[in-house]
């Protein structure tokens, strides 16, 4: 492959590019799912190609193709430079890149059990067993179980002398039970909704979640929700379970710190950010116990890697320090505008997409509480979790999320189960009201494989390490119950 | 372009290599380009040539599915082997009956050479026009201009043999003028239908007018919703309930409601893949010809769309709404229409004593599928209407409301419609839209 990458880089240099890089990526995916006791899908996909990114006349160009041949490399290199020159024909600021040391080497995350080597029958059998147990609860109308695995092999080479090979294997699984009665549909998922939990790991990660052992509980909880009362509407303390808090971190901490978004390059799609540069180092984002890092180096993280797609080494970067906003996720181009080195957050969803600033593992550092202590310490509150829906405004301030379950907390004890729970707030007010975070024993690094951004759309694999946490004065139950509206 | 002959040759090879009882081969291949701009310059400019060859192998009632983007003989052999092996290892799906049998396909013209060949210099020139007009109006522009072509074909062992080439173009822009924002979007099969100047004027006018928005209290307001917002409501409805699979699984708002009034009598929604006022395509991902399906007729729940799996399960025929893949998502309508009325947006505003004018929604998501309860924010042009006039811009509002309930309270519908990526819809005026929060800008 080195011959091809050299050929591409020589070509773009000859055509006048001041910078160029090429990524050759091969990704294999296996997806297995069961539904209502039947095998729903057994799917395998392979996808391979290359993309060339250049700066010419001070502007960006990118072209990609599925055909990895010398002739096609020449054609695509020429096209990338032509595209960059077309970009430059519109008035623009010349691209400047923060420096990076060239790197060489082959890097691979170790796994214990290769998921692609585990027999299909064994994987299906596990899913069908879990599915079968879910179905035993009469109220369940849809039982589902799924697994997903990816292997990504990538070569990155740049005109600055980098040649980096990386191999990564990712695994994940989950179950869902949907209970239906007249006019009501309720769902419970495990270990998280939308396909479960994912990690840079092998099949051992799937086994550790014990889907079969949790299937009955999940089904019964879904059935219970059918007759549960509507979540009330008021303001109280809210304790969030881990997978829900992971989404809270994702939407209200992860996206606002992407510096390309801050500079407006996502303005037309997902929006910009309230975390403008003058806030760096002095904006009180959360309470004093809130500490957040962007850690691309942590083993097992879905957002972990060795080098990003600009050849910048993976790093652990402070984002929120004792409640104060101190760092962004950056690229070489955006970091340069702040006079910094890149924090190494540029990643592309495959060979046919350009790198964008993407979350790595955005982790809320553990505190010194336990979940039980938090509940015991809460006079009037709600313990809620597992994602149903999410929505946040285009500056990442006003959010509203819905959870699968919510338990009333009265005088330090869990009470009634409520259905259709929602909560809403403004990002920095919400984090400013965080007064308790559970400790390391309850801290888990959740994997989210479908973080959307960019046009054309790209799905990034990202991680969020969190332990359950408590927030005071949260508006819950945006949708009023029938009883409340009649009062 | 590979062309019909070459594309079908690849698919016939797949079928030939397979020893499954039934095999379906489909391919999507094409080129796409996208020029993206922000802060009034081009910051991203990309080209992609890609393909997806998909194989569905059936052995008895066992199904395997595999894809690749490689089209050489070795890759074709390998993807067929993988699909067959997956089918062999799969458990039986007793509900599977058959792949679809062939039916005559009505040809429609979905390809435009100019759109396929529109190059980076052409796009840069169009973007420059848009940015120049934005500057004249006092606004900064962000957005995209995209174009490309796609060849799509399906072959199966029962005789389906379908090929189509289509083009697509899209221009979308958000404009900013101090604290004001505006939006415009145009889509078409033909790049020549897009007009950068008119898009710039539409978005910039609203951005300039939207400066210094004021905060208003959340609550129930009458709303005038531009087609951008209406399209989103119609697509969400489709996602929540217009699929036969959603009905069969009991999670659709249509369940138990067929023949009953579920919206106001002035709401009629249908899907027609062949209607060239939208973005047509002659057949679905299984090679089944597109049929018109009247989903809601004068407010009455009437029908849902089918693919072959959901249709055979009920002893029916597919309506041509498969979206492909392993089939787990179920069928989906992709060329929706909401029947226009006889009003204009100006008349809607003039008839409103106090209300909110909404350009578009942001980050909508469903809270409850049966209640069609959804939430989201307003964006890029939210204004207060008082005594029949737009009086001031307002800060973006969060809403939490039921789509069916709001479609039961539609007072006026515009006669003009907009072609979106998924639906052709008018503007509407509706009573009592529930705003549940407000943001800071």
Q: Dump pLDDT digits (tens) for A189-225.
A: 999 999 999 999 999 999 999 999 999 999 999 999 9
Cα(B186)–Cα(B190) distance, rounded to whole angstroms? Answer: 11
Q: Cβ contacts (< 8 Å) between A122 and chain B: which residues?
A: none
Q: Cβ contacts (< 8 Å) between B93 and chain A: which residues?
A: 38-40
Average pLDDT over chain A reads 96
Cα(A322)–Cα(A320) distance, rounded to whole angstroms? Answer: 6
Give the torsion through C-alpha atoms of A236, A237, A241, A243, to 10 deg: 70
Quick one: pLDDT at residue A92? Answer: 87
User: Given CB atoms, is B3 within the 8 Å cutoff of chain A?
Assistant: no
Mean pLDDT of B193-217: 97
Quick one: pLDDT at residue B67? Answer: 97
What DSSP character marks residue B191?
G
Q: Cβ contacts (< 8 Å) between B373 and chain A: which residues?
A: 479
In b/e form, how buried is each residue of B95-105, taking b as 16+ CB within 10 angstroms?
Answer: ebeebbeebeb
CB contact under 8 A, B124 and A479: no
Residue of B nearest to A78 (CA): B47
Quote the longest CA-to-CA distance of chain A.
76
Alpha helices in B242-277 (DSSP H): 244-248
Half-sphere exposure of B314 (CA within 13 A, CB side): 16
The answer to whether the beta carbons of residues A474 and A236 sit under 8 Å apart is yes
The answer to whether the beta carbons of residues B312 and B248 sit under 8 Å apart is no
Mean pLDDT of B144-148: 98
Specify the DSSP element, H or E, that contains B73.
helix B73-89
Mean pLDDT of A423-436: 98
**pLDDT over 60 at B149, yes or no:** yes
CB contact under 8 A, A268 and B172: yes
User: Given CB atoms, is B63 within the 8 Å cutoff of chain A?
Assistant: yes
* B:337-366 residues touching chain A, CB 8 A cutoff: 362-366
Mean pLDDT of B291-303: 98
Helix axes B73-89, A120-135, angle to 10 degrees: 40
Quick one: pLDDT at residue B287? Answer: 98
Q: Is B277 exposed, middle or buried (0-12, 13-18, 19+ CB in 10 A)?
A: exposed
* Bridge partners of residue B177, in order along the sequence: B180
Nearest 5°: phi and psi at A438? -70, 165
Q: How many CB atoms lie within 10 A of CB A112?
A: 10
Considering only CB atoms, A400 lies closest to which of B46, B249, B375, namely B375
Cα(A427)–Cα(B73) distance, rounded to whole angstroms? Answer: 54
Quick one: pLDDT at residue B383? Answer: 98
CB contact under 8 A, B46 and A67: no
User: Given CB atoms, is B179 within the 8 Å cutoff of chain A?
Assistant: no
Quick one: pLDDT at residue A480? Answer: 63
The answer to whether the beta carbons of residues B98 and B22 sit under 8 Å apart is yes
Half-sphere exposure of A334 (CA within 13 A, CB side): 26
Quick one: pLDDT at residue A487? Answer: 41
Quick one: pLDDT at residue A486? Answer: 46
Cα(A358)–Cα(A259) distance, rounded to whole angstroms? Answer: 10
Mean pLDDT of B367-386: 96
Mean pLDDT of A429-443: 98
Cα(A154)–Cα(A48) distance, rounded to whole angstroms? Answer: 10
- Counted across chains A and B, CB pairs separated by less than 8 A come out at 265
CB contact under 8 A, A268 and B142: yes
Nearest 5°: phi and psi at A15? -85, 0
Mean pLDDT of A99-110: 97
List C-alpha distances in Å: A194 to A191, A198, A347, B128, B409. Answer: 10, 11, 23, 41, 33
CB contact under 8 A, A398 and B439: yes
Average pLDDT over chain B reads 97
List C-alpha distances in Å: A18 to A13, A52, A97, A160, A284. Answer: 7, 13, 11, 10, 41
Residue of B nearest to A146 (CA): B328
Concatenated DSSP letters of A374-392? HHHT-SEEEEEEEEEEEEE
**pLDDT over 80 at B311, yes or no:** yes
Q: Cβ contacts (< 8 Å) between A264 and chain B: which residues?
A: 38-39, 142
Q: Kindly report the CA angle at A165 between A162 and A167, in degrees rounded to 5?
A: 150
* Bridge partners of residue A448, in order along the sequence: A462
Mean pLDDT of B102-115: 96
Quick one: pLDDT at residue B119? Answer: 98
Concatenated DSSP letters of A283-330? -B-S-TT--EEEES-STT-TT--SB-TTSPBP-EEEEEETTEE---B-
Instruction: Report the gap between the CA of B342 and the closest CA in chain A (Å).
Output: 32
The answer to whether the beta carbons of residues A323 and A284 sit under 8 Å apart is yes
**pLDDT over 50 at B253, yes or no:** yes
All residues at 6 or more sequence positions from A477 whose CB lies less than 8 Å from its CB, including other chains: A230, A231, A232, A233, A234, A418, A421, A422, A423
**pLDDT over 60 at A482, yes or no:** no
Nearest to A231 by CA among A13, A401, A348, A59: A401
Residue B327: band (very low, low, confident or very high) from pLDDT cuts 50, 70, 90: confident
Instruction: Report the gap between the CA of B103 and the closest CA in chain A (Å).
Output: 26
Mean pLDDT of B266-271: 98
Residue B405: band (very low, low, confident or very high) from pLDDT cuts 50, 70, 90: very high
Question: What is the bridge-based pairing of β-strands A421-426 and A469-476?
Answer: antiparallel
Nearest to A292 by CA among A365, A366, A184: A365
CB contact under 8 A, A389 and B365: yes
Q: Distance from first CA to last CA of chain B, Å, rounded?
A: 47
Cα(A247)–Cα(B86) distance, rounded to whole angstroms? Answer: 34
CB contact under 8 A, A268 and B39: no
Q: Cβ contacts (< 8 Å) between A456 and chain B: which residues?
A: 32, 34, 46, 48, 146
Quick one: pLDDT at residue B239? Answer: 96
Enter the pTM of the model: 0.96
* Bridge partners of residue A381, in order along the sequence: A237, A409
Question: What is the bridge-based pairing of β-strands A398-410 and A380-392?
Answer: antiparallel
Q: DSSP 3-state assignment of B55?
A: strand
Mean pLDDT of B18-41: 97
Mean pLDDT of A469-473: 98
Per the listing, tokens 């799609």 go with A269
């Amino acid at each position: 492959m080195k011959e091809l990458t050299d050929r591409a880089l020589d070509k773009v240099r000859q055509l006048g590019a001041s910078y160029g890089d090429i990524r050759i990526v091969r990704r294999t995916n296996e997806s297995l799912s069961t539904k209502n006791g039947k095998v729903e899908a057994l799917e395998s996909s392979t996808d391979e190609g290359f993309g060339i990114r250049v700066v010419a006349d001070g502007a960006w160009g990118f072209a990609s193709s599925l055909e990895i041949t010398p002739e096609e490399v020449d054609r695509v290199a020429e096209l990338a430079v032509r595209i960059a020159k077309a970009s430059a024909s519109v008035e623009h600021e010349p691209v400047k890149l923060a420096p990076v040391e060239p790197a060489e080497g082959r890097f691979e995350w170790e796994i214990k059990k290769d998921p692609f080597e585990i027999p299909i029958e064994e994987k299906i059998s596990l899913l069908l067993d879990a599915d079968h147990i879910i179905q035993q609860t009469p109220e369940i109308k849809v039982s589902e179980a799924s697994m997903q695995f990816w292997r990504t092999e990538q070569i990155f080479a740049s005109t600055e002398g980098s040649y980096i090979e990386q191999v990564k294997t990712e695994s994940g699984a989950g179950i869902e039970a949907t209970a239906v009665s007249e006019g009501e549909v309720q769902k419970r998922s495990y270990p998280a909704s939308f396909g479960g939990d994912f990690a840079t790991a092998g099949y051992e990660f799937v086994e550790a979640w014990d889907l079969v052992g949790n299937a009955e509980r999940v089904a019964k909880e879904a059935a219970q929700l059918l007759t549960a009362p509507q979540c009330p509407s008021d303001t109280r303390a809210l304790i969030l379970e881990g997978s829900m808090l992971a989404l809270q971190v994702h939407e209200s901490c992860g996206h606002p710190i992407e510096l390309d978004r801050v500079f407006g390059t996502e303005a037309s799609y997902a929006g910009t950010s309230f975390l403008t540069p003058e806030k760096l180092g002095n904006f009180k984002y959360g309470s004093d116990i809130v500490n957040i890092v962007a850690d691309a180096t942590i083993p097992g993280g879905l957002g972990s890697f060795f080098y990003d797609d600009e050849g910048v080494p993976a790093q652990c970067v402070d984002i929120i320090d004792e409640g104060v906003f101190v760092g962004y996720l950056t690229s070489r181009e955006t970091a340069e505008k702040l006079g910094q080195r890149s924090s190494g957050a540029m990643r592309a969803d495959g060979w046919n997409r350009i790198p964008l600033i993407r979350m790595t593992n955005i982790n809320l550092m553990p505190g010194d509480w336990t979940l039980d202590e938090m509940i015991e310490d809460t006079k009037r509150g709600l313990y809620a979790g597992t994602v149903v829906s999410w929505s946040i405004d285009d500056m990442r301030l006003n959010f509203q999320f819905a959870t699968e379950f919510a338990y009333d907390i009265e005088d330090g004890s869990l009470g009634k189960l409520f259905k259709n729970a929602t909560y809403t707030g403004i990002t920095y007010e919400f984090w400013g009201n965080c007064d308790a975070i559970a400790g390391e024993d309850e801290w888990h690094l959740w994997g989210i494989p479908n973080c959307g951004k960019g046009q054309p759309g790209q799905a990034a694999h990202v991680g969020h390490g969190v332990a359950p946490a408590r927030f005071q004065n949260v508006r819950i139950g945006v949708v009023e119950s029938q009883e409340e509206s009649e009062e | 372009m590979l062309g019909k002959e070459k594309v079908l040759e690849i698919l016939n090879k797949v079928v030939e290599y397979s020893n499954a009882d039934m095999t379906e081969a489909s391919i999507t291949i094409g080129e796409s380009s996208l020029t993206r701009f922000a802060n009034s310059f081009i910051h991203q400019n990309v080209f992609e040539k890609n393909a997806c060859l998909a194989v569905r192998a059936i052995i008895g009632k066992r199904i395997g599915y595999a894809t690749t983007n490689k089209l050489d003989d070795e890759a074709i052999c390998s993807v067929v082997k993988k699909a067959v092996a997956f089918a062999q290892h799969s458990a039986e799906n007793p509900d599977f009956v058959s792949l679809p049998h062939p039916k005559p396909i009505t040809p429609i013209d979905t390809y435009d050479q100019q759109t396929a060949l529109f190059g980076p210099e052409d796009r840069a020139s169009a973007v420059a026009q848009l940015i120049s007009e934005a500057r004249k109006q006092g606004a900064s522009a962000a957005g995209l201009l995209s174009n490309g072509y796609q060849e799509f074909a399906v072959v199966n062992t029962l005789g389906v043999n379908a090929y189509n080439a289509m083009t697509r173009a899209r221009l979308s822009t958000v404009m900013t003028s101090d604290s004001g924002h505006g939006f415009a979007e145009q889509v078409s099969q033909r790049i020549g239908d897009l007009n950068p100047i008119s898009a710039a004027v539409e978005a910039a006018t609203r951005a300039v007018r939207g400066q210094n928005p004021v905060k208003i209290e959340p609550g129930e307001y009458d709303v005038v919703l531009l087609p951008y917002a209406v399209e989103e409501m119609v697509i969400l409805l489709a996602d929540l309930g217009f699929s036969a699979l959603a009905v069969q699984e009991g999670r659709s708002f249509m369940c138990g409601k067929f023949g009953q009034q579920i919206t106001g009598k002035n709401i009629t929604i249908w899907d027609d893949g062949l209607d060239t006022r939208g973005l047509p395509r002659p057949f679905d991902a299984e090679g089944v010809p597109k049929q018109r399906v009247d989903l809601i007729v004068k407010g009455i729940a009437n029908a849902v769309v089918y693919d072959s799996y959901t249709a055979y399960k009920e002893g029916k025929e597919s309506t041509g709404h498969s979206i492909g893949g392993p089939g787990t998502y179920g069928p989906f309508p992709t060329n929706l229409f909401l029947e226009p009325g006889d009003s204009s947006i100006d008349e809607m505003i003039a008839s409103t004593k106090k209300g909110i004018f909404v350009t578009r929604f942001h980050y909508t998501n469903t809270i409850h599928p049966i209640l069609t309860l959804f939430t989201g924010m307003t964006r890029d042009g939210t204004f207060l209407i008082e005594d029949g006039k737009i009086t001031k811009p307002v800060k973006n509002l969060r809403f939490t409301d039921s789509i069916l309930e709001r479609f039961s309270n539609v007072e006026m519908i515009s006669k003009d419609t907009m072609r979106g990526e998924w639906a052709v819809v008018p503007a509407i005026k509706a009573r009592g839209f529930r705003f549940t929060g407000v943001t800071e800008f």
